[in-house]
Amino acid sequence: MSPQRATTAAPTALLERALQILGCFGPDANALTLTEIAERTALPLSSCHRIVGTLLVGGFLDRGADRRYRVGTTLWTIAQHAPLSDRLRESALPALARLYEETGENITLAVLDQGQALYVERLMGERSVPTVSRAGGHLPLHTTGVGKVLLAYQPAAYIDRYLTQPLARPTRDSIDQPERLRRDLDAVRERGYSLTRQEMTVGSGSIAVPIMHSDRCVAAVGVIVHLARLDVNRLVGTLNRAATAIVAELELLE
């Protein structure tokens, strides 16, 4: 490699490593030691040490008394300025809170992100059923109520492409046959809401509706309930009122 190429290649490689280090933090790994970071990134301990040092100075990582590193407050603060948080979550939160008060169930708000449903917020209470969704987490599009809505309102080419990939099957009732899923998505568009029964978690069902803004489905709002409480008519009405309220708040921002 010529010296010139080395200098032009190095900078982004370093940045990539820094993002790789941040990327090894996750819901099940929110506090890591330097050794764990080195193991997870397969980077030499010395470069990890150097990059982690830079991230620490900038407040992108914090180090606790237990000598473990965590995502830092500066990074959290910057994250609050993301449109996902600043516009969508901010606009939706009052409606989600009302939805929760009205149903007492698990309420979720999600967007399409890298071929999956990214949960922007989840509200739950004492009597809500346990779920696998968490704010900041991803779940498959075809096994979740919010995911089916997000997928159903994508252009036909997107749906075709989605259907050609292997479809994960977290439960026995998950739809993993492309043609059955396509019919289900058609139904979502026709009636304006999605319905899942034990397709992500055994014992639970979900219903979700789109949040339409400028003729685009920008997000989906859904409710996850125990199968026995899956009262479709009542929940669809409540969800539609919430979606209308969220759209009104989003429009106020313009």
Partner 1 sequence: MSGYAPGMDAPGSILSQTVATQTSAQTVTGRAFAVLDSFDAGHRRQSLAAISRRTGLPLTTVHRLVHELERQSALVRGVDGDYEIGSKIWQLGTLASVHVELREVALPYMQDVYEIGNDAVQVAVLDGLRCLVVDRIAGSRTISVISKPGSRLPLHATGVGKILVAFGGQELQDAVLGSLDRYTAQTITNANTLRQQLSAIRSQGFAITREELAAGATSVAVPLRGKGGAVIAALGVVSPSAKTEISRMVPVLQVTAAAISKKLALVGLAEAARQRAQ
214: left (phi over 0), alpha (psi -120 to 50) or beta: left
Q: Is 85 in the site for partner 1 (CB under 8 A)?
A: yes
Q: Is 9 in the site for partner 1 (CB under 8 A)?
A: no
Residue of 9, 44, 49, 97 interacting with partner 1 (CB under 8 A): 97
Task: Find how far residue 5's CA is from the centre of its chain.
Answer: 38
Write the interaction track for partner 1 spanning residues 27-66; mark x where CB under 8 A is met and - where it is not: x--x--------------------x--xx-xxxx-x-x-x
178 Cβ contact list (under 8 Å, min separation 6) = 163, 164, 167
Work out how close the CB of 177 gets to partner 1 at its nearest, in angstroms, rounded to a whole number.
30
Nearest residue (CB) to partner 1, 127 versus 183: 127
**Could you tell me the two tokens for 104?**
């007492």
Write the interaction track for partner 1 spanning residues 156-185; mark x where CB under 8 A is met and - where it is not: ------------------------------
Q: Is the Cβ–Cβ distance between 105 and 221 less than 8 Å?
A: no
Task: Find how far residue 86's CA is from the centre of its chain.
Answer: 15
Q: What does DSSP assign to residue 227? A: G
Q: What does DSSP assign to residue 88? A: I
Site for partner 1 in 218-247 (CB under 8 A): none
Q: Is 69 in the site for partner 1 (CB under 8 A)?
A: no
- Cβ atoms < 10 Å from Cβ of 219: 29
Class of residue 145 by CB neighbours under 10 A (exposed 0-12, middle 13-18, buried 19+) = buried
Work out how close the CB of 99 gets to partner 1 at its nearest, in angstroms, rounded to a whole number.
10
Residues in contact with partner 1 by the rule CB under 8 A: 10-12, 14-19, 22-23, 25-27, 30, 51, 54-55, 57-60, 62, 64, 66, 68, 70-86, 90, 93-95, 97-98, 100-101, 111, 113-114, 118, 123-125, 134-136, 248-249, 252-253
